[in-house]
Structure 1
Amino acid sequence: MPLEESLASKLTGTRTTCPYCGVGCGVIANPSDDGQAADIQGDPEHPSNFGKLCSKGSALGETLTLEERLLEPELEGSKTDWNSALDRVAGKFLQTIAEHGPDSVAFYVSGQLLTEDYYVANKLMKGFIGSSNIDTNSRLCMASSVAGHKRAFGTDTVPGCYEDLELADLVVLIGSNFAWCHPVLHQRLLAAKIERGTKIVVVDPRDTATTDAADLHLKIKVGGDVALFNALFAYLANSNAYNDTFVTDHTNGLGSALEVASSFSMDEVVEATGLTIENIETFFEWYEETSRTLSIYSQGVNQSSSGTNKVNAIINCHLITGRIGRPGMGPFSITGQPNAMGGREVGGLANQLAVHMDFEPESLDRVKRFWKAPNLTRGPGLKAVDMFDAVHEGKIKALWIMATNPAVSMPNAAKVRDAIEKCPFVVVSDIVENSDTLTLADVKLPATGWGEKSGTVTNSERRISRQRSFLKPPGNTKHDWEIICEVAQRMGFNGFSFQNPSEIFREYAQMSTFENNQSRDFDIGKFSEVSSSEYDQIKPFQWPKTGNAEQDTSAKRFFANGQFFTIDKRANFVPTPVRSAINLIDTEFDLVLNTGRIRDQWHTMTRTGKTQRLSTHIGEPYVEINPKDALRLNLKDADVAVVSSKWGKAYLRAIVTDRVSQGNVFSPIHWTRRYASRACIDEVTSPAHDPTSGQPELKYTPVNIRKMELEWWAYIGTMKEIEPSQLSGAVYWAISRRGDGWAVELAGDTSTGDLSHYLKSLTSKFPDSEIISFENSVSKEFRYSEFNSNQLQAAVFASFNGPVEADRTWIGQNIGKTLSQEERLRVLAGRPPSGQVSGKIVCSCMGVGSGEILRSIQAGANTVAKVGEQTCAGTNCGSCKPEIAAMIKVQSEVSTKMNLEAAE
């Protein structure tokens, strides 16, 4: 028996799917006796990850506590029963519709929902309420891909699959920090690079963990993608890669698209992209020479006011070469959420109807008959940005938000928050009790979460997998599909009497194949009669699964036969003119803000923020700024920066680095009012959006930056959580879990008053505790530590000269520990014994800090693999390998310099 099969056969537990990104990794879960944790392992049998997990997936078992869970329904801030809550929701929606019409209500849903939840929500809004005002947070990440696919292929079809990563000879990563955002797939790509010599080109305005492995990094100007791929398209039209047979037999529109693409001279392309002519020529030559070319793109392409044009500019290059639908080649959109694809399939976007049908008359008729829908909508609804504008203007008067946090994640978030506050009736279904959005709700509905609910999700390669429950629903929670169906029935609608998710999935499969006859790409008719027991046993599969073996032979890939889903079955070349960002930099806002994810956090941290393991790599909100810009602005590393735009501002720790080009800054999207004073970067971002897809321009916002003038800085490690409300005395603060307690970075001005008294008010919560303190009047620093029977309860470091220096990782590891007299003094000094420096955590999976890695390098571990052998760092998901490699490089340079100096 092969080793993989032997391992898989020994693993027991519930096979389910990870709830984070669109990779869709299979996991095996074994819950603890109290259901507050679980042992999580990658599923070796799942074809998306073959047992591998990233740092977030590995830490899933630590996020299952009931801490901060919403467990009871609430009406106007008071706990209530489900009947009262659902009666209120149904009654208010009916009343609003009766008084103002169906377009006065809206649903805003989420790629965190399961497909079954999504299906009934879409059915209720579009089929029975009679409005298309249902949109999803997938609008923020993948809507431009949907629009680009539909323009080129006639439908929202992802042609390829993950296997293409191993089969491609050239992989072009565009606008994707693959190593951090999709680390399991990145490791598959790196394995192909080692085993097959696959070349990697990265098109990204930043230096990232992904660019470290690139054979060619095209450090493009933000927004320069269309100019680059138009120029490539024009080059390919006159190259040996031009596929005349494919273009002639299977496409339309080459002439007009090529005319637009050829409008820039090469000098203009260089100017628009910021790239050297040498790098451009190298890229074009590699692309021309390599038949098996795979173009992977993500948010850097989609989140733009030209996002749809960027998508089509990439697709045009594959159509002109005929490199689509065959092994190792094609355009490949990688999604950011676990079920962004499932939402697109059911019709969860406002501009879709259902199961890849739009609003043409025959589809409207078909859907109306299938659903027996009395009030079927007739056309598209409001996309996310326009939807919240309508809420703000009072046009939408009843809003139901499900499993997402738009008060943080929408652009111009302060306005969105204000809109939700103004809305006459707001319902929020969620699992946490303290999200920024939930606090604004009139009705709070406690939903079940991952591990408690059951259904399906679809990943980026169109693979449908089961999420299975292995925990009992806690408190008085309900499943999302159940909540939606109960409201629908209270509103008097038939067609929502489902008893379990398998019944919903069965109807969904029936709808996908209803009057299809291969006219639509999405068809899972094989499951039209699936029983509950068969549903429970479904193994991961790629659609289509029509039940017809002959039709399913091409399930891995689409379009190998040159047949598309347009009226004439031909693909469309789409003209993609170069357009500037809608809001450009000027003398007041002279820097371009780019936003994105970091390795160990997810969305607005409602799940990942619960585990200290994921907070130790990066525990504070930050902004990266180029050294030349920092010098001009008098900003130094670790200063607190105020980042401002026309729409808002954020307070962020400055990181001075040449990872970003001059004139550009970068900040992560994750921090909320729960974890920081004012770090919601989407309060800063522009609400400008793509006119076709409606996707916001989150990668380009004009901003300015100034140094926040502060009087004092402090760092606290404490066993007892400090509530955000207690931190109002600090102008800047950020809180994260650390060890068995919490870490708080804070800073303030003279308005704080007596700093020592203020800090002690935050930490002195133990009446019999022993205080050890130290003060240096020369350096203007003071620090103290608090012990209870030699157990470290709190350690406080304060300075009037700048950010405090202390080994935060080591201090965090000792919070709650019983320490010796020497160790107690070490805590006060903020430093471990010589040779034990922890440094910041580099490998979150294995909890390995930079100190331990550096010691292994100094002891002779001169490769990432050898460091892994000695420390275990980098041996799980591998997303820390670029950082380890950089440390090896720096240490090698230091050693070489020392040797040269010694020789002299």
Structure 2
Amino acid sequence: MSNAAVIPLVSATSPVDVPHATVRTTCPYCGVGCGMEAVCVTAPGDARRGAPEHAPENKQQNAQAAMPEIHGDALHPANAGRLCVKGAALGETLGLEGRLLAPAMRTRGDAKETPRTVSWDTALDAVAQGFRAVIAEHGPDAVAFYVSGQLLTEDYYVANKLMKGFIGSANIDTNSRLCMSSAVAGHKRAFGEDVVPVCYDDLEAADLIVLVGSNAAWCHPVLFQRIARLKEQRPAVRVVVVDPRHTATCELADLHVALKPGSDVWLFNGLLSYLADRGLTDRSFVGAHTHGVAEALVAAAADGGDIESVARTCKLAVQTVQRFYEMFAATGRVVTVFSQGVNQSSSGTDKVNSIINCHLLTGRIGKPGAGPFSITGQPNAMGGREVGGLANMLAAHLELDNAAHRALVQDFWGAPCMAVQPGLKAVPLFEAIEAGRVKAVWIMGTNPVVSMPEADRVRAALARCELVVVSDVMARTDTADLAHVLLPALAWGEKDGTVTNSERRISRQRPFLPPPGAARADWDLLCDVARRMGYRGFDYPGPHAIFDEHARLSTVGNGTGGVAPRQFNLAGLTGLSRAAYDALAPIQWPVPCPATGTGPTGTVRLYADGRFSHADGRARFVPVRGCWPAHGIDNDYPLVLNTGRVRDHWHTMTRTGKVPRLAGHTSEAAVDMHPHDALLCGVREGELARVRSRWGAMVARVRHGGGMPRGSVFVPIHWNAQFASDARVGAVVNAAVDAVSGEPEFKHTPVQVEPFPVSWHAFVLTRTQELATPATYWTRIQGRQFVRYELAGREAIADAGAWARALLDVKAAGADWLEYEDATAGVYRAACVVAGRLEACVFLSPRPDLPARTWLSVLMENDALATPERASLLAGEPLEAGTDTGQIVCACFGVGRETICRAIRQHGLSTTAQVTACIKAGGNCGSCVPEIGALLLACHAVQAA
């Protein structure tokens, strides 16, 4: 794709009020950076605009505003109109339920204390005065910011300027530390700068795509579908997946390299030796453009670089290693895509460099269809890197530990108190809060009490911190519950600024909804606090002015005054007027100054000239050795815990948890494990189990079928105190970090899995948002017009009817209470019908195999309950066979497992394309195509038997 201008249909720095207007913006989920169109079919309306700044009674009025339709932008180069199911469902996340709409304060950081609504002046004075007082008494390193890849680049820039240049500490880190900081460190070691040299088009130019530690089918679906279409168009293209798990991505692979967790460096060191031994070194490229090849080859050989040794270490068949190496060796155009499976490791930086070494040795970089490709998990992880969002960086790819760089930035900012040394990275930052060395922290747009390793320790640290400030869009999160000051921020749809995706493409996020209540932009809050602290240089008229300052800084000292040239350069985007900024088309940096009379042009691919960002222009081979994770398994903790995402949820579910169709695929936290391991642990599929490590514990439901090898378990990262009783996997994860990058080891924590015995299981569907009676275990799932709870308890229920009435808090006059009980079997079913409509139902059993939920959901969505349906409720099954659609497989079209299987059997379907043609499943984002393929195999196997 070119960098040709794409002018938005409507561009504005304030939300549109024009009926049927279309605003081009960018998706707020993963790093693919998909373009979107928000079609405002009616004016966003006054319902969300102009609410008094401390008038929470406006919340219901705000929630009723008409919502835009969300479509993929066919003109955006990243996605050409395609969206994953999460992106397609964004319109359903824009309601104001649960939003923080006014500043609030507590005396103590304790969820038991209800925060009191205050004015902006009161809240921001408390922040400014609190930070000033701590700095005056304890120095600048006693305060910190913890920010997020959810922030826009302009927000990130102001936060770093304030902390590093004016407060005078580098104690600002980001949740991006948790997902891609090892890639940053690997890039800087190899290239001299944090640069992704390739682009998405290189995937379509490649003949071999190697996906390492990346379940792209679920985590980067639009990118994965580009690869899938490529294989359809060019069947000779090969895909290799390197991953301990057999994920949905493996369904596309020609070869799955299911290596032992943590053994990546051995695998790629072996590949490096294999290539060198067979004379496949690009001697001209290596000699002219690199340093250190001999040392890297010595280190690789010391790891036992022969195929047999690699196979033993990685627990692979010799034939698998041989085939992978032969495919890589025989293919000139190779793109190696890597993500969190590589980065989130105590040796993640070495893993990154082991991959890059193989590309440098063969000269497979800077060319179409060739190069190492780090894909990010957050929408603006790269934008945060551009402005120095990590504690060890300065803005504009300048180095904090370089005195000349510090002086350059200090002079540009007019900064009075420049940080002189790297600050605390994420894990040490919260350890410093716990120890009392950091006494005030401002957390922006992230939820570390859920997402950090040793999350219980993080919660305890914040609970004892003197001042915790949280700016967020939600009134209740695990972290917001510990805040002294709560500041309402803008959400996606209301924000105005830029983000940068995984291929260095800068895109605009444009607002199409007015700010609700008193919510304000993050950069605006930061500037207001900076001014209240007495600092100059924070009077920006809008985000366009911040972007211009950011762009100008990228040009200062870039290749002049003894400072080495940097690839990060936005010279062609300096001086943009507000209108030009509003109309900015997606563009890849570097953006050099345009020729006279032409517009700015981005750069698709880097290092084509063989000149890298080290002072001498040469790339570096980095000698690396295999190193096992910091904590190994033993008899007490014999299993390896791996964490990550599920297909239809995002981070801590503040958006996706609102959307019923996104809850249907994976409804509650689960521990996925091999059946043999489950047998040894004494747990069964469908039952509850406790996952325990030396650092903490959580409870989840056991499941099989996720492609887990023996010895490993997988738990998703999303569930938290708003959606489950005890499902924060961060509490279990160890806090070992990479020595270079500081990125935590999320993929390898030794655990044990043990039964979580309960006396009963139940589920409830209710129109009431909260249950009156708590349970030992609960999970909350959003439905259409109702909420579903999965429950379990340890204490026996003596009177099921009384328990059910108390649980549902049935008080409606004239309500019909229908119930069935088999006291001998311990089975109880009840329903509450009000004015002919099903208001709530509850199903109780001593066993976890309760009736299917999907047909009951349909009854809850109906306006009236027919007499036969009342009987089916008490019978615990639908009236007609085929009514239950089963667990959602295709969330885009709401197609369930049973519907797909029935279609396969009844119509003799044999391909995913036939399934799509028959019932639409798989016909939109394609995320479910691998699962449809698995169902086809399963159904045909049953028929063959």
TM over 0.5, yes or no?
A: yes
SS at match of 1:444: strand
Deviation string for 1:350-404 (max 9, x for gaps)?
0101110002121111101100111011121000000000000000001000000
Q: What does residue 535 of structure 1 align with?
A: 581
Change (3 A) 1:757 1:430: same
Q: Is residue 497 of structure 1 aligned with residue 539 of structure 2?
A: yes
2:168 maps to which of 116, 127, 130: 130
Q: What does residue 805 of structure 2 align with?
A: 760
Gapped regions of structure 1 (runs ≥ 5): 898-904
- Give the TM-score, by structure 2 length: 0.92
Q: Is residue 200 of structure 1 aligned with residue 239 of structure 2?
A: yes
Cα contact 1:627–1:658 (8 A) shared by 2: no
1:661 maps to which of 706, 709, 728: 709
Measure the CA separation in 1 of the matches of 2:819 and 2:873.
11
Measure the CA separation in 1 of the matches of 2:389 and 2:882.
55
1:621-660 equivalences under 5 Å are 621-657=669-705, 659-660=707-708
Cα contact 1:139–1:695 (8 A) shared by 2: yes
Q: Is residue 245 of structure 1 aligned with residue 284 of structure 2?
A: yes
Q: What does residue 844 of structure 1 align with?
A: 891
Q: What does residue 29 of structure 2 align with?
A: 20
Cα contact 2:572–2:600 (8 A) shared by 1: no
Measure the CA separation in 2 of the matches of 1:831 and 1:350.
57
Cα contact 1:63–1:610 (8 A) shared by 2: yes
Q: Is residue 522 of structure 1 aligned with residue 568 of structure 2?
A: yes
Cα contact 2:303–2:625 (8 A) shared by 1: no
Q: What does residue 805 of structure 1 align with?
A: 850
Measure the CA separation in 2 of the matches of 1:121 and 1:753.
57
Measure the CA separation in 1 of the matches of 2:524 and 2:474.
18
Cα contact 2:686–2:849 (8 A) shared by 1: no
Equivalent residue pairs, number: 888
1:133-282 equivalences under 5 Å are 133-197=171-235, 198-265=237-304, 266=306, 267-282=308-323
Deviation string for 1:226-271 (max 9, x for gaps)?
1100000111112243101111111001111111111133343222
1:715-754 equivalences under 5 Å are 715-723=763-771, 726-728=772-774, 730-750=775-795, 754=799
Q: How far did residue 164 of structure 1 move?
A: 1.1
Q: What does residue 47 of structure 1 align with?
A: 77
Cα contact 2:380–2:500 (8 A) shared by 1: yes
SS at match of 2:129: helix
1:86 maps to which of 124, 129, 152: 124
Deviation string for 1:28-86 (max 9, x for gaps)?
11245553532110000000000000010000000011100000101212110001111
Which amino acid counterpart does residue 857 of structure 1 have in structure 2? I
Measure the CA separation in 1 of the matches of 2:339 and 2:603.
23
Which amino acid counterpart does residue 248 of structure 1 have in structure 2? G
Q: Is residue 484 of structure 1 aligned with residue 530 of structure 2?
A: no
1:777 maps to which of 798, 819, 823: 823
Measure the CA separation in 2 of the matches of 1:894 and 1:242.
50
Change (3 A) 1:119 1:727: farther
Q: How far did residue 868 of structure 1 move?
A: 1.0
Measure the CA separation in 2 of the matches of 1:747 and 1:102.
49
Deviation string for 1:573-592 (max 9, x for gaps)?
00111111111111111110
Q: What does residue 357 of structure 2 align with?
A: 316
Moved more, 122-131 or 22-31: 22-31
Q: How far did residue 816 of structure 1 move?
A: 4.1
Q: Is residue 402 of structure 1 aligned with residue 444 of structure 2?
A: yes
Measure the CA separation in 2 of the matches of 1:554 and 1:619.
43
Cα contact 1:793–1:816 (8 A) shared by 2: no
Deviation string for 1:778-804 (max 9, x for gaps)?
43211111111221111211002x114
Q: What does residue 501 of structure 2 align with?
A: 459
Cα contact 2:589–2:602 (8 A) shared by 1: no
Measure the CA separation in 1 of the matches of 2:264 and 2:927.
26
Measure the CA separation in 2 of the matches of 1:727 and 1:172.
51
Measure the CA separation in 2 of the matches of 1:634 and 1:507.
60
1:27-66 equivalences under 5 Å are 27-31=36-40, 33=44, 34-35=64-65, 37-66=67-96
1:585-600 equivalences under 5 Å are 585-600=633-648
Change (3 A) 1:808 1:362: same
Cα contact 1:798–1:804 (8 A) shared by 2: no
SS at match of 2:71: strand
Q: What does residue 613 of structure 2 align with?
A: 565
Measure the CA separation in 2 of the matches of 1:17 and 1:138.
19
Measure the CA separation in 1 of the matches of 2:805 and 2:326.
65
Cα contact 2:587–2:601 (8 A) shared by 1: no
Q: How far did residue 524 of structure 1 move?
A: 0.8
**CA RMSD of the aligned region, Å?**
1.7
Which amino acid counterpart does residue 325 of structure 2 have in structure 1? F
Q: How far did residue 552 of structure 1 move?
A: 8.2
SS at match of 1:13: strand
The structure 1 segments of at least 4 consecutive aligned residues displaced by more than 6 Å after TM superposition are: 8-11, 550-554
Measure the CA separation in 2 of the matches of 1:754 and 1:419.
42
Change (3 A) 1:553 1:486: closer
Measure the CA separation in 2 of the matches of 1:140 and 1:522.
23
Moved more, 790-799 or 315-324: 790-799
Measure the CA separation in 1 of the matches of 2:28 and 2:931.
26
SS at match of 2:376: coil
Cα contact 1:412–1:686 (8 A) shared by 2: yes
Cα contact 1:170–1:200 (8 A) shared by 2: yes
Q: Is residue 383 of structure 1 aligned with residue 430 of structure 2?
A: no
Change (3 A) 1:765 1:221: farther
Q: How far did residue 177 of structure 1 move?
A: 0.4
Moved more, 171-180 or 804-813: 804-813
Measure the CA separation in 1 of the matches of 2:160 and 2:65.
32
Measure the CA separation in 2 of the matches of 1:733 and 1:831.
23
Q: How far did residue 760 of structure 1 move?
A: 2.3
Q: Is residue 418 of structure 1 aligned with residue 460 of structure 2?
A: yes
Q: Is residue 853 of structure 1 aligned with residue 894 of structure 2?
A: no
Q: What does residue 901 of structure 1 align with?
A: none
Measure the CA separation in 2 of the matches of 1:375 and 1:171.
47
SS at match of 1:262: helix
Cα contact 2:681–2:754 (8 A) shared by 1: yes
Q: How far did residue 286 of structure 1 move?
A: 0.3
Gapped regions of structure 2 (runs ≥ 5): 11-19, 45-63, 107-114
Measure the CA separation in 2 of the matches of 1:651 and 1:520.
48
Q: How far did residue 856 of structure 1 move?
A: 1.4
Change (3 A) 1:895 1:562: same
Measure the CA separation in 1 of the matches of 2:210 and 2:332.
13
Deviation string for 1:839-895 (max 9, x for gaps)?
011111111111221121112222111111121111110000011111111111122
Which amino acid counterpart does residue 463 of structure 2 have in structure 1? E
Q: What does residue 694 of structure 1 align with?
A: 742
Which amino acid counterpart does residue 851 of structure 1 have in structure 2? E
Q: How far did residue 212 of structure 1 move?
A: 1.0
Deviation string for 1:112-135 (max 9, x for gaps)?
000000000000000000000000
Change (3 A) 1:427 1:753: farther
- Give the TM-score, by structure 1 length: 0.96
Change (3 A) 1:490 1:798: same
